[in-house]
Amino acid sequence: MATTDIHIHHDVHHHDDHGHDEHHHEGNFWTTYVFSQDHKVIAKQFLITGIFWALFGGILSVIFRLQLGFPEANLAWLKPVLGQWITPENKLDPEFYLALVTMHGTIMVFFVLTAGLSGTFSNFLIPLQIGARDMASGFLNMLSYWFFFLSSVVMLTSFFLETGPAAGGWTVYPPLSALPQAIKGSGTGMTMWLVAMALFIVSSLLGGINYITTVINMRTNGMSFTRLPLTIWAFFFTAIIGVLSFPVLFAAALLLIFDRSFGTSFYLSDIFIGGEALPHTGGSPILFQHLFWFLGHPEVYIVLLPALGISSEIIATNSRKPIFGYKAMIGSMLFIAILSFIVWAHHMFVTGMNPFLGSIFMLLTLIIAVPSAVKIFNYVTTLWKGNIRFTPGMLFSIGLVSFFLTGGITGIFLGNSAIDIQLHDTYFVVAHFHLVMGSASFFGMLAGIYHWFPKMFGRMMNDKLGYIHFWLTFVGVYLVFFPMHYIGIAGFPRRYYTWTNFETFSGFADLNMLVSVAAIVTLSAQFIFLFNFFYSMFRGRVASANPWNSTTLEWTTPRNPGHGNWPGEIPSVYRWPYDYSKPGAKDDFIPQTIPYSETPESNLPHENELIKLESSNGHGAIIVEGKH
Amino acid sequence: MMSLIIGLGVILVLVILYMIFRVANLVTIAKGEKNDRTDSSNSLNAALFIVFMVVSLGVFFWYSFEYFEDYTLPIASIHGAWTDTLFWITMAVTVIAFSIISIVMFVFIYQYRYKPERRAKFYPDNHYLELAWTIIPAIVLAVLIFTGLRAWNDITAPASEEAEVIEIIGQQFAWVTRYPGVKDNTLGGHNYKLIDAVNEFGLDLRDKNTFDDFKSLELHIPKGKEVLLKIRAKDVLHSVFLPHFRVKMDAVPGMTTQFKFVATKTTQEMRDELGNQNFNYELACTEICGRGHFSMRMPVVVDEPEAYEAWKKGQEAWLKQNPDYLKQVPEALREAAMIKSGMQKDPGAGVAEVKN
């Protein structure tokens, strides 16, 4: 704590010198906007890159939805873009279809919902909400973005290969992903996929270590762990999960690289392909699945927890109520974080894994439903007797809770290994994870953008456009993914180019068409958002310092916080972040920076006792901190 | 043409929305400074949530009941009936929970929309409430887990000794089955290094059990008898999926996986039940395996046990179909191989017995 204090005072003087015009940083364009070490700029870099990838991944999905919804359609008009991937019959090439599915998954899970979500909001909000000048290491933070950028470049480049990008599914199960003979995408495309992922893991680890360090060491005076907003708790757990699980993916990828390029047999055994028997023996494809899902399942929560944290914050603010069960929310996130490491094999019930292992993992998987249910109940109770303002951020947060409920509940089917036999790898699974993790997290990201846009760019986004965007997307997402439950119960396997070869799967052309149309409309609706985003950045209504009447620290900074966030001293914190509509208080929110001594009319009995520990200059708060 | 219409539609929607945006913006400016708290759209959004809830739940229940026959597959195995029962029990429990939570949430959203005169209730926690909704889901889940576990343990338990063993092999992009043959009823050994264009099983012909094994491109199953599928893959991962029998298991290169089940309805019985004389059981691949993943279909036929035995007797042994491979059979076993594979008349059961 002492070192932090010295650092802070140093910074204060530093900023007093420049304090009056925060826009004029020392340094040129390159150090300010490109190789910046300011967490806010890095956050925006992650955001813009994430938006690019979201659009890219979305377009990929619409292309393969065209194939699934309109199998007879003439796709010659895509030839200028896709070239040889459109067959002479003007159809999508079946192998490119698989590449599209693969890259859609990879991009959305890693580049959008991991880097775009955690990268943006952890970077932006951690220093602002805990009261820090910047991240623990601005330099590592910058590296984190640029490794991600490099990874993005490599991944994007793989689309321009003649053999195409990786096409073995986003889970890249060997032997398919290990053998170029098996599918074209497993040639150079797969090599680039692995290189991109290795770079991505480096980026993710650099970011994660920074987030953890910052949250532990750089909280301002009085910001004890029990006064952290739930966003910070969520980012903190997310970073810990990431740091513990991404290295395992790295190991899995490394062994796959060895198998592919150096003739080892970690995952390969007894293979006869392309007219010859390969020399590999003794490897196990199941080993890869264990390693992959050891990251892959925590990854679901890496994607989801930040979104849940963001929505907790937004729902509390806009319901004008404290989040219900603050400690239960932290507890359930902690429980989810721990359990996320011991449920991975529920992705593997019917892959040939020992069935006894299946029963253990079924038990653990269904336990994880309990903290998830607690979270939903807590959200609903937070809404109860609130005074709800439907800002676009709030709408998207409600949408998130709805998706989390709808998609979460189907997890109870899939986590049950006996039921999973039929549902595994069908559209039921596709519906499940797109709702519970894809759409819910995506809505968390959008909610966060709408909510913190005023802090990011000093202007408001247009809320009417936000409403239209929300309703089109909310209804659109349900129209895309809800029908997939029926298609899945009917047994339709996923990653099928067409189902016409099977009598069993001959139906549902109508539902598939509906899904595709809804997907196109939903994607189109995102252009409303893009327009709103870039238009408002320059021409939006100028935001007030605290437009949502929120209690947390970021709203105590100037409209456009400069490098260092607060022009003067960092404010001290005296209370938890959810003092909304406190009985007796004159306004319906009390910022975290207001001491209890100034609010005798609304203090609860135990809070009155805390007044003794406060002093007017805020340094008394250190004593409070010391007692923790 | 279709894509052109879609493209034009998208552009039209965008133009319309941009116009709305411009108009709304101008109206806002004309009205003067905007109230920071809320405006009329707050109640509109609240009402839309109610509309959304009523319409979506309505459509959900209507479709689920109206088209029940379309999205449910008939069941043709013993364990399939069990897992389907579990599925529908889980469905009942979750749909009830889902409906209640959804309705409560959307009603709260509407009821507690912003009103200037009201103040939200400061209600940070209630331990009894939290305890209740931790324990109740835990109990419900525990019940579901234990019923599921019983089914799972039973389904994955070892097959009985009398089970009909059938080998099924996945490769890019077709399935092939191997039956043990009626003479020894045992699958012969194999080795992937022996695979070639003809010997697609990699049969090890030094093993006399291979002599009467036969190949089939249709999966025949007897009704009412336990069947044990021995599943192999030659090149990459595949997955055996028999939708009507609720059977799914990956085919993994380098290891044999298995799934046991009992079919309950012959193909003909299912045809009569569905009133569709063209009905056929099918086997599909459900693990991404490359370009032709979507085309890995194998026809499946369920016969009455007698018809099944007759069908098996009528099949030629693989070795008989490929007599060139006799030279891989060790000298001493060649005659036995010829007899057992049916290439040579059996000079007498007793003699064959001794030779074996």
Provide the 3-class DSSP secondary structure of residue B82. helix
What are the backbone dihedrals phi and psi of residue B77, each rounded to the nearest 5 degrees, phi first?
Answer: -145, 160
CA angle B177/B183/B188 to nearest 5° reads 50
CA distance B264 to chain A (A): 17
Cα separation, B117 vs A72, whole angstroms? 58
Q: Which residues of B touch A395 (CB under 8 A)?
A: 45
Residue B129: Cβ within 10 Å count: 16
pTM across the whole model: 0.92
Q: What local confidence, expressed as pLDDT, does residue B31 receive?
A: 72
Contacts A–B by Cβ distance under 8 A: 355
Q: What local confidence, expressed as pLDDT, does residue B33 receive?
A: 56
pLDDT per position as a tens digit, A200-211:
999 999 999 999
Taken as a whole, chain B contains a residue count of 356
End-to-end CA separation in angstroms for chain A: 12
Q: What local confidence, expressed as pLDDT, does residue A3 receive?
A: 38
Strand B226-233 relative to strand B164-171: parallel, antiparallel, unpaired?
parallel
Tell me how many helices (H) and strands (E) chain B has.
10, 10
Mean pLDDT throughout A67-83? Answer: 91
Instruction: Say yes or no for a CB contact (<8 Å) between A419 and B148.
Output: yes
The structure tokens listed for A120 are 């943006």
CA distance A34 to chain B (A): 32
In this complex, which of B108, B257, B282 lies closest to A383 when CB atoms are compared? B108
Burial classification of residue B29, based on how many CB atoms lie within 10 Å of its CB (0-12 exposed, 13-18 middle, 19 or more buried) = exposed
What does DSSP assign to residue A35? Answer: S
Q: Determine which helix (DSSP H) or strand (DSSP E) holds A294, and give its type and residue range.
A: helix A285-319
pLDDT per position as a tens digit, B18-33:
787 778 777 877 776 5
Q: Using 50, 70 and 90 to split pLDDT, how confident is the model at A20?
A: very low
- Residue of chain B minimizing CA distance to A392: B45
CA distance B272 to chain A (A): 16
Cα separation, A405 vs A420, whole angstroms? 19
Block residue for tokens 């490359």: B290
How far lies A129's CA from each of A32, A240, A330, in Å?
A: 22, 19, 17
CA distance A235 to chain B (A): 22
Q: What local confidence, expressed as pLDDT, does residue A625 receive?
A: 42
Instruction: Say yes or no for a CB contact (<8 Å) between B236 and A176.
Output: yes
Cα separation, B58 vs B49, whole angstroms? 14
Q: Does the pLDDT at position A13 exceed 50?
A: no
Instruction: Say yes or no for a CB contact (<8 Å) between B87 and A505.
Output: no
What are the structural domains of chain B? 164-344 (2.60.40.420)
Q: Determine which helix (DSSP H) or strand (DSSP E) holds B142, and give its type and residue range.
A: helix B127-155
Q: Are A519 and A475 in contact, with CB atoms under 8 Å apart?
A: no
Cα separation, B6 vs B12, whole angstroms? 10
Q: Using 50, 70 and 90 to split pLDDT, how confident is the model at A18?
A: very low
Chain A, 334 to 353: residues with Cβ < 8 Å from chain B are 350-352
Block residue for tokens 């089109």: A472
Instruction: Say yes or no for a CB contact (<8 Å) between A424 and B138.
Output: no
Instruction: Say yes or no for a CB contact (<8 Å) between B255 and A366.
Output: no
Asked if A159 has any chain B CB less than 8 Å from its own CB, the reply is: no
Cα separation, B223 vs A172, whole angstroms? 38
Q: Which residues of B touch A319 (CB under 8 A)?
A: 112, 120
Q: Does the pLDDT at position B40 exceed 90?
A: no
Q: What local confidence, expressed as pLDDT, does residue A550 receive?
A: 94
Q: What local confidence, expressed as pLDDT, does residue A26 receive?
A: 60
Q: Does the pLDDT at position A605 exceed 90?
A: no
In this complex, which of A390, A409, A580 lies closest to B94 when CB atoms are compared? A409
Q: Using 50, 70 and 90 to split pLDDT, how confident is the model at B34?
A: low
Instruction: Say yes or no for a CB contact (<8 Å) between B37 and A387.
Output: no
Q: Are A592 and A573 in contact, with CB atoms under 8 Å apart?
A: yes
Block residue for tokens 């007219």: A275
Mean pLDDT throughout B102-108? Answer: 96
Cα separation, B334 vs B344, whole angstroms? 11
Sequence-distant (6+) residues with CB within 8 A of A302 are A114, A118, A238, A241, A242, A245
Mean of the per-residue pLDDT values of chain A: 90
Q: Does the pLDDT at position A25 exceed 70?
A: no
pLDDT per position as a tens digit, A107-139:
999 999 999 999 999 999 999 999 999 999 999
In this complex, which of B112, B151, B234 lies closest to A387 when CB atoms are compared? B112
pLDDT per position as a tens digit, B222-242:
999 999 999 999 999 999 999
- Residue of chain B minimizing CA distance to A582: B122
Provide the 3-class DSSP secondary structure of residue A317. helix
Q: Does the pLDDT at position B311 exceed 60?
A: yes
Cα separation, B73 vs A492, whole angstroms? 11
pLDDT per position as a tens digit, A531-580:
999 999 998 889 998 999 999 999 999 998 988 899 989 999 999 999 99
Smallest Cα–Cα separation from A163: which of A104, A93, A253? A93
Q: Using 50, 70 and 90 to split pLDDT, how confident is the model at B1?
A: confident
What are the backbone dihedrals phi and psi of residue B163, each rounded to the nearest 5 degrees, phi first?
Answer: -60, 145
In this complex, which of A176, A319, A489 lies closest to B288 when CB atoms are compared? A176
- CA A323 to chain centroid, in Å, comes to 21
**Sheet bearing B214-216, strands edge to edge:** B214-216, B174-179, B164-171, B226-233, B257-262
Smallest Cα–Cα separation from A221: which of A129, A135, A130? A130
| Site from A412, A492, A536, A601 to mutate, B interface, most B CB atoms within 10 angstroms | A412
Q: What local confidence, expressed as pLDDT, does residue A14 receive?
A: 42
Q: Which residues of A touch B192 (CB under 8 A)?
A: 270-272, 277
Smallest Cα–Cα separation from A230: which of A122, A309, A311? A309
Q: Are B291 and A98 in contact, with CB atoms under 8 Å apart?
A: yes
* Long-range pairs of A145-148 with CB within 8 A, sequence gap ≥ 24: A145/A42, A145/A45, A145/A46, A145/A119, A145/A203, A146/A35, A146/A203, A147/A199, A147/A200, A147/A202, A147/A203, A147/A206, A148/A46, A148/A49, A148/A111, A148/A115, A148/A119, A148/A199, A148/A200, A148/A203, A148/A204
What are the backbone dihedrals phi and psi of residue A539, each rounded to the nearest 5 degrees, phi first?
Answer: -125, 10
Residue A385: Cβ within 10 Å count: 18
Specify the higher pLDDT residue, B12 or A430. A430
Q: Are A265 and A282 in contact, with CB atoms under 8 Å apart?
A: yes
Instruction: Say yes or no for a CB contact (<8 Å) between A419 and B6.
Output: no
Instruction: Say yes or no for a CB contact (<8 Å) between A387 and B118.
Output: yes
Q: Which residues of A touch B103 (CB under 8 A)?
A: none
pLDDT per position as a tens digit, A415-461:
999 999 999 999 999 999 999 999 999 999 999 999 999 999 999 99
Smallest Cα–Cα separation from A61: which of A450, A484, A404? A484
How crowded is the C-beta side of A442, counted as CA atoms within 13 Å? 27
CATH code that applies to domain A2-18+37-539? 1.20.210.10
Q: Are B155 and A422 in contact, with CB atoms under 8 Å apart?
A: no
Chain A, 420 to 479: residues with Cβ < 8 Å from chain B are 421-422, 424-426, 462-465, 467-468, 471, 474-475, 478
Where in chain A are the domains? 2-18+37-539
Give me the DSSP letters along B257-275.
Answer: EEEEEEB-S-HHHHHHHHT
Q: Using 50, 70 and 90 to split pLDDT, how confident is the model at B349?
A: low
